[in-house]
Amino acid sequence: MANLLLSPLEKMYILHGVRDDCRSDGRTNIDYRPMELETDVVSHASGSARLRLANTDILVGVKTEIDLPNNDQPGYGKLEFFVDCSANATPEFEGRGGEQLANSISNMMQKAYQSSDAFDLKQLCIFEGKQCWKLYIDILILECGGNLCDAVSLAVKAALYNTRLPSVKTALLDGGNVDLQLSDDPYDNKLLNVDLAPLLVTLCKIGDKFVVDPSAEEENCSVISLIVGATGNKTNYNIDNKKNESCTDSKCTTIVMNGSGSLAPKTLKNAIKQGIEAVQFLDQALGQALLRERRENVTMKKYSYGFLK
Amino acid sequence: MPAADLLSSQGLRLDGRRANELRRIRCKLGVFTQPDGSAYLEQGNTKVLAAVYGPHQASKSKSSSDGVVVNCQYSMATFSTGERKNRPRGDRKSQEISLHLRQALTAAIKTELYPRSQIDIYVEVLQADGGTFCAGVNAATLALIDAGIPLRAYVCACSASMAWGARPQPLVDVPHVEEAAGGVVLTVASLPNTGSTALLEMSHKLHMDYFKMVFSSAVQGCRDIEVILDRAVRDHLAEGWTEQDTVTV
């Protein structure tokens, strides 16, 4: 991350704030900073989203391509994550400087989306064993203000929610080769089911307590952080908003520990529990925002802001 | 001859503009907080972000005692083009554009003021629809102004092409469809205030008789862009100031 210089006194101030559950910007330990989300910002991509979490700015574009399915998974599509750390965020990322961070984030996303409980790759199948959709999820990091993983996972889920796959009109089978005809009508398309797509939550251990959504300064004070990824909840993305009784619990899809410190088993267990609770809260907020935007889109009330706001 | 029907019989282009009309330009200064200066610029469907860091101390190898070292990096988001790009930067085209950006912007920056220092300018294309270099130069100018770096003049870039109908006519601000049609594309970066040209690049062939026509239409485009950028800068600076403030200050 961007190099940030903090004096021992400044660190002490942050540490005491976390201990007393009142952080330097007035939040409690479980509060998130304000977020701005807009989908459909890049017209050349099939789906896109821009998320700004305080100073962290993420732009995600999803591009689709027709590909051959893997031999061992004939009925499944493919997902590929690519992270680009733009030099706009910090001059350190110039050239190939951001590659290490980019790889670690894309690996983490790949792991979180790997389970079929998190994202159903079957919906990307066109013709079993012959053709499938491959989604390129390109993540562009434009500014780093701490808590990249959470912001990236939120933006990716929003972009996937916004992704439209063109409908397949006809498929001709000609001597083993499949010839697909895609619909030309931009409104004739299929949306993806991303209700269960996972969100990541970073928990930073500062002193004896864990905080969510650490700012860049707080990340600097922490010796160890825990990233918990858990699946979303279907009921959050239902338009009729009926609370089903069969509400499934979030399942943990990935856990990563970063940093030089270590954790006792009991603290670890508590932290994971806290992380899953935070995921459920975030997922609910994201679901509400996405549903509202879709409603505005249908009623033609949506105004496109992009970066001009 | 290619590009025969770029202009309809009514004098309208493929996107509905007249030959001398620019695409809509919308811009904003100061979009990010971490860089010293930043700007976002939309020129039609081309969308560009620029960030400026510096002037700060130059690394030993780059340092020059004559003036500031201008370091430019141009990159395109992988989802910015119709076909997905594999690499955002490092390919030949973006390296060449980085060099051109540097040349155009160094002409405007008062380099002699900051010896042994460095200014980093990063341009990121979010959506490409022709004229990405021009949009990059225009956005970088705004970012430099936002960073408070002394400039000799605004540096604006504009491209121009040629329509070969019954009567040859230059086309200003070339979008992707016209670039792809295979006609001439002349890219000019100029300092409209002083009337000088900082960078000129032409692809494909053009008879010298027509050069002046295309060149002057590109320069006119630069002048028009300067007016738009200047208004954006003034609006940005006036933002948040009420009349009361100006009285008390």
- Asked if A7 and A27 count as a contact pair (C-beta separation under 8 A), the reply is no
Interface check A57 vs B, CB under 8 A: yes
CATH of domain A17-298: 3.30.230.70
Question: How many interchain CB pairs under 8 A, A with B?
Answer: 101
Residues of chain B positioned with their CB less than 8 A from the CB of A65: 84
Closest Cβ–Cβ partner in A94, A136, A142 for B49: A142
Closest Cβ–Cβ partner in A42, A62, A91 for B126: A42
Distance, in Å, from the CA atom of B207 to the CA atom of B148, rounded to the nearest integer, reads 42
Interface check A65 vs B, CB under 8 A: yes
Q: Do A136 and B88 touch (CB under 8 A)?
A: no
Q: Which tokens go with B197? A: 């040209």
Q: Do A45 and B49 touch (CB under 8 A)?
A: no
Strands (E), chain B: 25-29, 37-43, 46-57, 69-76, 117-127, 156-163, 169-172, 185-191, 196-203
Interface check A288 vs B, CB under 8 A: no
Alpha helices in chain A (DSSP H): 8-19, 99-112, 148-162, 216-221, 265-298
Q: Which residue of A has its CA nearest to B29?
A: A308
Nearest alpha-carbon partner for B230 in B147, B155, B130, B131: B155
Q: Which residues contact B24 (CB under 8 A, 6 or more apart)?
A: B42, B43, B44
* Per-residue confidence in pLDDT tens, chain A, 309 aa: 456 788 999 999 999 999 999 998 899 999 999 999 999 999 999 999 999 998 899 999 999 999 999 999 888 999 999 999 999 998 899 888 899 999 999 999 999 998 888 899 999 998 888 889 999 999 999 998 889 999 999 999 999 999 999 888 877 877 777 788 888 887 888 899 998 999 999 999 998 899 999 988 888 888 899 999 999 888 888 766 555 545 567 888 899 998 888 899 999 999 999 999 999 999 999 999 999 998 888 887 777 888 887
- Asked if A166 and A129 count as a contact pair (C-beta separation under 8 A), the reply is no
- Is-cis flag, bond preceding B55, omega within 30? yes
User: Best interface-test mutation with A: which of B126, B132, B142 has the largest number of A CBs within 10 A?
Assistant: B126
Q: Which residue of B has its CA nearest to A137?
A: B79
Q: Do A142 and B124 touch (CB under 8 A)?
A: yes
> What are the CA-CA distances from residue A98 to residues A84, A86, A87, A275, A279 (Å)?
8, 8, 8, 27, 27
Amino acid at A137: I
Distance, in Å, from the CA atom of A85 to the CA atom of B167, rounded to the nearest integer, reads 48
Closest Cβ–Cβ partner in B33, B42, B126 for A55: B33
- Asked if B151 and B144 count as a contact pair (C-beta separation under 8 A), the reply is yes
Q: Do A44 and B34 touch (CB under 8 A)?
A: no
Q: Which residues contact B185 (CB under 8 A, 6 or more apart)?
A: B159, B160, B161, B174, B179, B202, B203, B204
Name the burial class of residue A43, with classes exposed (0-12), middle (13-18) and buried (19+) by CB atoms within 10 angstroms of its CB: exposed
* Per-residue confidence in pLDDT tens, chain B, 249 aa: 454 578 888 889 999 999 999 999 999 999 999 999 999 999 999 999 999 998 999 888 888 888 899 999 999 999 999 899 998 888 999 999 999 999 999 999 999 999 999 999 999 999 999 999 999 999 999 999 999 999 999 999 999 999 987 788 999 999 999 998 888 999 999 999 999 999 999 988 899 999 999 999 999 999 999 999 999 999 999 887 666 655 554
What is the phi/psi pair of residue A208, to 5°? -100, 0
ipTM of the modeled complex: 0.89
Question: Residues 135-194, chain A: which have Cβ within 8 Å of B?
Answer: 136, 138, 140, 142-145
Buried b (16+ CB within 10 A) or exposed e, A272-287: bebbbbbbbebbeebb
Q: Which tokens go with A308? A: 């001009």
Residues of chain A positioned with their CB less than 8 A from the CB of B126: 42, 59, 140
Nearest alpha-carbon partner for A32 in A279, A222, A257: A279
Q: Do A42 and B84 touch (CB under 8 A)?
A: no
Q: Do B124 and A55 touch (CB under 8 A)?
A: no
Distance, in Å, from the CA atom of B27 to the CA atom of B29, rounded to the nearest integer, reads 7
Question: Residues 103-142, chain A: which have Cβ within 8 Å of B?
Answer: 136, 138, 140, 142
Nearest alpha-carbon partner for B128 in B184, B81, B85, B193: B81
Map tokens 């977020």 to a residue: A35
- Name the residue ranges covered by the structural domains of chain B: 25-248
Closest Cβ–Cβ partner in B26, B53, B77 for A84: B77
* CATH number of B25-248, picked from 3.30.43.10, 3.40.50.2300, 3.30.230.70, 3.40.718.10: 3.30.230.70
User: Best interface-test mutation with B: which of A44, A135, A139, A217 has the largest number of B CBs within 10 A?
Assistant: A44
Residue B239, pLDDT score: 82
Residue B242, pLDDT score: 64
Interface check A63 vs B, CB under 8 A: yes
User: Best interface-test mutation with A: which of B28, B45, B79, B95 has the largest number of A CBs within 10 A?
Assistant: B79
Map tokens 């959050």 to a residue: A236
